Amino acid sequence: MGKLGSTDNGLVMVTTHLYDGVRSLPLDFAQYLHADSLEKGKEDPEFKKKPELALELIARCLNRGERPEVTLIDGGYGNNGPFLKELEKRGLIYIGVVAKNRNVEVEIETGQKTKMRLDELTAILPEESFSSITYCSQVS
């Protein structure tokens, strides 16, 4: 619906799924309520941003003992620093899209941490620092 340029007349859901390499099984979902649809807007107690809802759903999974090897995140969450820090705090390895101009903190050989843009970092890393990831999807 976001691609239509408006929310149109539909529901926006935040979901978690279990994926075994072949099938996806929905686990939990929460309806996102846009601030405009709530009486007090962003000040309404029911208002939660999508990353906040996603973290609540991830917590549900972890509380049930479901610990994914890798957490795949929607592209919209990849540049949300607080969201990514929460995943890291929970010890989750994640794959998502991040902007090439995103600032990251890295420790390169010297033992000192430094901040730089992601595209600058990838330009100085040797080729063997990268590994290929293959995504296989079966369409039925």
pLDDT in tens, 66-122: 888 888 898 888 889 899 999 999 999 998 888 888 888 888 777 788 899 999 999
Domain span at residue 34 reads 2-98
Same structural domain, 93 and 114:
no
The pLDDT value given to residue 140: 47
CB 14 within 8 A of CB 53: yes
CB 59 within 8 A of CB 67: no
Backbone angles phi, psi at 84, to 5 degrees: -65, -40
What is the rounded CA–CA span in Å between residue 33 and residue 12? 8
Nearest residue to 138 (alpha-carbon basis) of 17, 19, 27, 14: 19
Backbone angles phi, psi at 113, to 5 degrees: -85, 140
**Count of domains observed in the chain:** 2
Same structural domain, 79 and 110:
no
pLDDT in tens, 124-134: 888 998 888 77
| Tokens 């990849």, residue located | 78
Residue 87 lies in a domain: yes
pTM: 0.74
Same structural domain, 92 and 103:
no
Same structural domain, 20 and 84:
yes
